[in-house]
Amino acid sequence: MKSDIPVTSEQEAVAIACGMQLGGAKTFVFMQDSGWLNCINNMCSLVYPYGFKIGGEVKGVPEPEHHKRSYDLYRYLNDTI
């Protein structure tokens, strides 16, 4: 079953997708590039610690380089805190 869930922010979309993954659903969150770093708190507190899958390619379009840099930022923050 496919469905779209309207959200008001990128952070909300990431949190809902994580919850749906806990329930066994396959999820996708599409967002503008500017929204990626808005989600750094979600990434540090929800996505990475609990091992949710994020990133990757969609129909052969490579993931933007700045997404990969945000992973490095997370790792730095995680190691220093």
**pLDDT at position 55, please?**
59
Residue 9 CA to residue 24 CA, distance in Å, equals: 23
What is the rounded radius of gyration, in angstroms, for the C-alpha atoms of the chain? 13
Instruction: Output the CA angle 73-36-7, nearest 5 degrees.
Output: 140
Spans in the chain with pLDDT lower than 50: none
**pLDDT at position 41, please?**
81
3-state helix, strand, coil in the chain (%, to 5): 60, 0, 40
Residue 23 CA to residue 14 CA, distance in Å, equals: 14
Q: For the chain, which residues make up each domain, given as ranges?
A: 10-80
- 40 contacts 70 by C-beta, under 8 angstroms: yes
Neighbouring residues of 23: CB distance < 8 A, sequence distance ≥ 6: none
**pLDDT at position 49, please?**
78
